[in-house]
Structure 1
Amino acid sequence: MARRETTLQAAQGRLRVLIDSEFQPGDKLPNERDLAEQLEVSRATVREVLGQLAAEGVVTRTWGIGTFVHDTAARVPVSIGDVVALRDRITASGHRPALHDASVTRTGCPADCAEVLGLPPGAPVWQVDRLFAVDEVAAAWIRDHLPLSVDGLDLDPSGLVSIDLDLFEFLANATGMPIRRAEIELSAVLAEGEAVDRLGVPVGHPLVSATQVGYSPQGAALFHGHITVRTDVLTLKITRGG
């Protein structure tokens, strides 16, 4: 057993040196056979070492796609247990948030959003598209849909193209009804389509997708959003309280 552990430790050390010297974050590593030849160990040893490095966050392994070098920058922990702006969550963790891209347009309401907001499918709504970065690295792509008006008050979310205005702040000021509760449903996904371009990741890169609904104190849904997060940049912490 001790000899086996020594072999694994030595192989892991050599692979770490190889990654640090010849690869950049996001690069794809050679396949297991080629790595086994370079490290002069068995493919089984390579497979076990890669599993250990994946558990430590050094590499990302995607079945049928390959193994990629993780970004070596520290991931930012973000709590989603409270109704707090993403911008402020990132700042509180000691990192610098930014908007790499943002737009506000009128569009037809998607079916899932229409059901939540109590609108007919295809009814006109505001679409707010924002790409958040952490220390200049794309981290979270958020697409929110808002009604054109709330209780007879017209909404103008054009200010949300600035990092200085958060969605929660905007709705509180525009409607007089602060977001008191947000429901978030999470799922693990593999990057494809628009998410690949927006977040700058390869096809098949593991992501977390979330659907978020924000409610007024009276229980009315004020927005419906989709969030796609790079967990190699942001880590999500869920807290629950009474």
Structure 2
Amino acid sequence: MTSRFVPRQRLARESIEALLSTMSAGSKLPSEEQLAKQLGISRPTIRSALSALEQEGLIVRRHGVGTFASTPHTDMDASLQVLNSVADIVRNNGYTPAVTDVHITSVSLPTAVCDALLLPTASPGFRVVRTVTADGQPAVFLVDYLPETIGKISVDLSVFSDKMIAALAHLGVFILYARTHLSIQRSTAEAAEALNIATGDPVLYLQQVAYTTDHTPAIYSIGYHREGVITYTLTRYADVSERAEP
């Protein structure tokens, strides 16, 4: 049974890939039922092939809307061991970065942010949003939260243009390291609009807290990375205690 199923799935995949090669980015594919009739292949096999293509970023499936040819992505790589700005990551990969749609607002910091930055509930601060593009294509939507003061230094974001760490260094606040959590999340409406994707589309989600040289939590950051644009690498070392004795 398996020997018959695998070739049919391969045929379905190759047929859909051939169809995609004739379509422009964003074009809508026929429905599963239509593809099954056109190719003479069962819907479960079509569905399986589409799932594989979605995982590889070749198509985008939107519940209740349809399946679409994906936009070609700029493929970049970055190390999690280095605390670089997204613009620097774009530049280091040979693309031209730009920071657009910068908005700075005064807010009462959300409870989760106050907890992470060790601040009293509803402390005053700033919310900074912007979109980083690579060769004109939206790559990452960033949201930073900062308190009004870090240590004894008042935060003046009139010096901010594109790099938060550099802007704080100009004020005398020096970031030493950050603790970062990565996961796959669904895009919010705000992030989707910035990245030119649909609300609910999967994104690489980075949530991190950056600390100063005296270990004071200073910036709470959220990054929505458009799927397939930037990948992060991490060097892992073997546990020497588990090596076999010679």
Common fold: TM-score over 0.5 = yes
Letter in 2 for 1:191: S
In 1, the alpha carbon distance for the partners of 2:93 and 2:155 equals 31
Mapped pair 1:149 → 2:149:
yes
Shift of 1:5: 5.0
- Higher RCO structure, 1 or 2 (CA under 8 Å, sep 6+): 1
Structure 1 gap segments, 5+ residues each: none
Which residue does the alignment assign to 2:168? 171
Alignment: residue pair count: 236
Return the alpha-carbon distance in structure 2 between the equivalents of residues 239 and 85 of structure 1. Answer: 19
Cα deviations across residues 136-158 of structure 1 (Å, max 9, x unaligned)?
11121111111222333222122
Q: Which residue is 1:102 aligned to? A: 102
What do residues 117-168 of structure 1 show as CA deviations (whole Å, max 9, x unaligned)? 23222222122111111221112111111122233322212232x33xx111
Distance, in Å, in 1 between the alignment partners of 2:77 and 2:20 is 25
Deviation at 1:7, TM superposition (A): 4.1
TM-score by length of 2: 0.84
Letter in 1 for 2:171: A
**Kindly tell me: are residues 238 and 158 of structure 1, through their superposed partners in 2, closer, same or farther at Cα, counting changes over 3 Å?**
farther
Cα deviation per residue 1:29-54 (whole Å; 9 max; x = unaligned)?
Answer: 33211111122322233123223323
SS in structure 2 at match of 1:203: coil
Deviation at 1:62, TM superposition (A): 5.8
* Unaligned stretches of 5+ residues in structure 2: 238-246
| Cα deviation digits, residues 79-114 of structure 1 (max 9, x gap) | 332212221111111122111210222111111111
Cα distance in 1 for partners of 2:151, 2:11 equals 66
Task: Give 1:17 deviation, angstroms.
Answer: 2.2
CA change 1:38–1:60 in 2 (3 A) is same
- After the TM superposition, which parts of structure 1 deviate over 3 Å for at least 4 consecutive aligned residues? 1-11, 60-68, 238-241
CA RMSD of aligned residues (A): 2.4
